[in-house]
Structure 1
Amino acid sequence: MARLLSYLLILASLTLLPAAFANANQNGQASDMVKIAVDDLPVFFSPYATDPLELQYANLFFDPLFRWTDKRQIEKRLVAKWRTIKPGVTRFYLRKNIKFHSGNQLSSKDVIWTFSQIVKEPQLKRFFAGINSIKRVDKYSFDLHSALSNTQLLDYLTHFFVLDAAFYTQNKIDPNTAQEIISPQHNKLLISGTGPYQIKQYNPALHLDVVANKDYWQGQAATNELNFIKIKSANSRQFALLANDIDISASISNKTIDTVHFAKSKSLVEVTSSNVVFFTINDKRSDVFKRSVARNAIHLAINQEGMVKHIINNMGSVRATFTPVQQVELELPNPQLPTYDVPRAKYLLDKIEMPAYLTLLVLVDEVGNTPEVAKALVNMMKRVGIKLVVTEVTDVGVWNKQLFDYDFTLSVWQTSLMDSNNIYQDLFVDSELASYIGALFEQEKSLNSIEDKVNLFGEMQEQHRIIPLFFQNKIWATDNKYNLATIFSINGIPYWHLLTTN
């Protein structure tokens, strides 16, 4: 009864949600418009801005050189073919007769100009630092100079979205400028890519309405209009779907996913991704954790399988160690999984002089699972006689400053990269754990290659310094009339131009 009452309260709260979808038909929008609830909207409309476009939006307005399919295959997009000229030099040939939204024709000059914009932004280093230069060969071909392997390079090029050089330079438009409100009467083109959709209406606090590009090089998208509606609350997104105010919901709450099953016209879509909840143990604050027996005891006290079952409703998996792009589903319980043994943990801790209390720093994730995991950890530690004090932060800058002031940390990491070397590079250099991992690497003076670092990272997990608590999948909810389950790439990116009705 209590759960039913909470559902009714959330449904009642939907009357307070933005009116972006409530008055859709009154505003004269197309009847075939699909309404998609998202937790946030872009502020900048460039893949290379200070706060770059999320990949699902970047693929709306721009095409990458390559992209990943749902079969873990590289698909040529703006590139027609490529070949190795000599070691370190690859020649790419663009598709011909592709036009930008402005009407300008795509050429190799656009690729080179786009790269010049990329190298201006330090935060893009992880994707493009391995590219030394790009040189024009002719109108439709260019040579890319890089020491990266072929698979590494193509993986990074899935993030290379080509901009319309003439449009931005002639109109003196800075792609790094935050976009203001766009009304349906606004006839000035603000961005120009080769992608399947263009902006119709935009309010950063409410919604992003896009319409199909009629001149798209692959043919006009089957769904003419998409309206991305900003609803911060995961519960509110889900119940807006159940109330038929929206058609599709992103990142729904794990707590209430069972409510979708009550509606025969709705269903869940579970999308696999490299999304890991990491728990770390720091020996800088408490010397006791320099002892492996103390770290082992803490690990024994953590019920990882229980977290997957009760916090994310089995929408994920547990593995003993982190392995990139491993798509193996493990049934729970599984004897190969990390051991949960409270009596053994208490036995070991009784032999150790532990501090009066221990501290946990939590980086709150957008879905909200890390606070739930933190609560579970507090209860688990209590069972073995440990008082755990939790501090939650939402700012990564604050997180990095305080990282080593706590005994434990809890954070979520994910990547859209698929090559294993690229994934480790992202984890070791650009993730929220990079400072912690880097400090452990500094203790080893003989790390000369990525392979050496990967091996040491594995040892860190075996030593219970870094514990991948569980791997969580993204959960979407949809009206059954849409083919939502078939539009995602292997790395979890929705390609919205593939959306159709069943």
Structure 2
Amino acid sequence: MLRRLLIILCLGLSSMMCLAVDLRVALDADPISLDPHEQLSEGGIQYSHAVFDPLVRWRQDGTFEPRLATSWEVQDERTLRLHLRQDVRFHSGNPLTAEDVLFTIERLKSSIDFKALFNVVQNVDKIDDYTVDIHTNHAYPLLLNILAYVFVIDKTFYEGRSEIVKFGQTFASTNVSGSGPFTVHDRVVGQRLTLIRNPDYWDTQSVGNVEQLELLPIRSDSTRLAALLTGDVDVISPVAPIDIARVQRTPNVKLLALTGTRIVMLQMNQARREEFQDIRVRRAMNLAVNQALIVEKILRGYGEPAGQLSSSAFWGHVSDLVPQSDLEQARELMKEAGYQDGFRVTMMAPNNRYMSDERVALAAAAMLAKINIQVDLKTFPKAQYFQFFDQQAADIMMLGWQSDTFDSNNIYEFVLACRDADTGMGAYNAGRVCDRKLDDAIMFANQEMDVAQRVALLRGIEMRAVDQAWVIPLYWQPIIWASKQHVDLESVVNFLNFPYWGDLHVNAP
């Protein structure tokens, strides 16, 4: 429910009156930690944009907007110079300087989840208190893309207690000093995260008027929607496909639906199951799963059936690679492989992370049963599920991947590359795929500056992934929010599903 806090005189706006408001947002889960570098996840990045600031951030048109970095210029093919804002203070009161940027990037290079993004950075040099040079190991076409994930932290506040432990209890997981538009006021894990407007925020041009932002995890789709319709909350996400029509016909409530590029897939662990090492079995499983039916019946048409990992927005997308559901051919391949009688496998999926994820997992299990693969399925809340995911605790795991760099190669290096704890490559490769030639192609694509040659490399990787049936692509998930009519979500939710809450202006109801 939107609650009027007070009417204040807006200095600098011709003495016009403006409304400072509270905003209550119901999401399917809360961030696992207050540490912006602990987990590379949608919820974590959404939180980070509220409490921290990146060096640059994506505009809605796909270009980059200066944030803590005011400008940048290329020094040579391996060096980018950044100029930093000189008027930023962390929530602790400490000023932001180049030392904080060096400290942050070095920390990101040690993060299990982020190191694969940042291992391309060789080192960062301090030129002066507000200028840094970022040196890469090789020419890299996506350097600005990864700088959108450099949420700078307060070196003075964190130094000596900056350990990153995924799903662990550390100083950084429970204590915060960011520079963002909100400060952390209160957190009760699993119940609420309350943020208060930062009175000393550097971005005085922001039109945002949210004074208090309360993030509430509500796992149940129906309960989340009921909270919006009864006025208990102002914004919800996601909206279940079955509820979309109801939202659209409800007065004073509006739907925001954007095309998404997150690919939801099933990964088959070849290290756990010998059967999955047989390409005929993997191809049979791909043919047995009917992606179009899942999108039509479960997602109610919201989503796009996937026959590959790269969405049409990415250079790696190959238009000829479409879903190929064929039950008879799948059964024939199982027979050729000597598994006509099938086998039993375990499968795990989240039940509050992706759109209708539990129902999709149940549908996929039923489809695999038609080729005599019996699936013992267990589903878990997001926070618990990803601990099992990291342990590769089942034969088949569900994963949804949003390319962090808005580029195909980000999917390949996290999901298909051989797992390497030192570099972070393959960090989300629960299928235990390992193809050294593929790794070489991923590496070459990360160095190729010629657009045509890079596109050819990326499409070659995509075609090999589909030919080898390393994963079962399911669908590309749309971005769907619902809100009260006077909440201007359209202006702050971008194509990566990262709302910039600090810039949200809520009109009077």
The whole-number CA distance in structure 2 between the counterparts of 1:100 and 1:498 is 18
Structure 1 pair 434–81 and aligned structure 2 pair: CA distance change class (3 A): same
Counterpart residue identity of residue 265, structure 1: N
Aligned residue number for residue 12 of structure 2: none
Cα separation, 2, equivalents of 1:350 and 1:459: 24
How far off its partner does 1:398 sit?
A: 4.4
Distance 1:445 1:90, change over 3 A: closer
Counterpart residue number, 2:467: 462
Partners of 1:157 and 1:288 lie apart in 2 by 37
- Change in CA separation of 1:33 and 1:396 when aligned onto 2, cut-off 3 Å: closer
Structure 1 residue 433 displacement after superposition? 5.2
- In structure 2, the residue matched to 1:185 is none
Contact 1:393 1:399 in 2 (8 A): no
Question: In angstroms, what is the RMSD of aligned CA positions?
Answer: 3.8
Aligned length: 459
Aligned partner of 1:95 among 68, 85, 91 = 85
- State the match for 2:372 in structure 1: 386
SS in 2 for 1:491: coil
Deviation at 1:495, TM superposition (A): 0.7
Matched, 1:207 2:192: yes
Task: Give yes or no for the alignment of 1:196 onto 2:181.
Answer: yes
Match of 2:241, SS?
A: coil
Query: What is the aligned partner in structure 1 of residue 30 from structure 2?
Result: 41
**1:4 corresponds to:** none
Asked if residue 414 in structure 1 is aligned to residue 408 in structure 2, the reply is: no
Q: Are 1:67 and 2:57 an aligned pair?
A: yes
**Change in 2 beyond 3 A, CA 1:446/1:49:** closer
Is 1:78 aligned to 2:54, yes or no? Answer: no
Pair 1:232-2:232 in alignment? no
Structure 1: distance between partners of 2:40 and 2:406:
22
AA partner of residue 220 (structure 2): S
Question: Sequence identity, in percent?
Answer: 24
Give the 3 Å change call, closer, same or farther, for CA 444–79 of structure 1 in structure 2: closer
1:479 aligns to what? Answer: 484
TM-score (norm 1): 0.78
Aligned runs of 1:85-484 on 2, under 5 Å? Answer: 85-149=75-139, 151-168=141-158, 176-177=170-171, 191-219=176-204, 221-280=208-267, 285=273, 290=278, 292=280, 296-323=283-310, 326=313, 337-342=322-327, 353-365=338-350, 366-367=352-353, 369-382=356-369, 384=370, 386=372, 388-392=374-378, 394=380, 395-396=385-386, 398-399=388-389, 406=395, 410-429=398-417, 434-436=429-431, 438-439=433-434, 441-442=435-436, 449-451=443-445, 455-484=460-489
* Structure whose alpha-carbon radius of gyration is higher: 1
Q: Which consecutive unaligned segments of at least 5 residues does structure 2 have?
A: 6-18, 165-169, 418-424, 446-456
**In structure 1, C-alpha distance between the alignment counterparts of 2:132 and 2:276, rounded to whole Å:** 57
Residue type of the alignment partner of 2:400: V
Give the aligned residue type for 1:211: I
CA deviations on 1:275-305 (whole Å, 9 max, x unpaired) are 222235677746597364x655544433211
User: What code does the residue aligned with 1:391 have?
Assistant: L
Matches of 2:176 and 2:345, distance apart in 1: 44
Q: 1:481 to 1:149 in 2, by over 3 A?
A: farther
2:267–2:472: 8 Å Cα contact kept in structure 1?
yes
Which one is further off, 239-248 or 213-222? 213-222
Q: Does the Cα contact within 8 Å between 1:396 and 1:432 map onto a contact in 2?
A: no
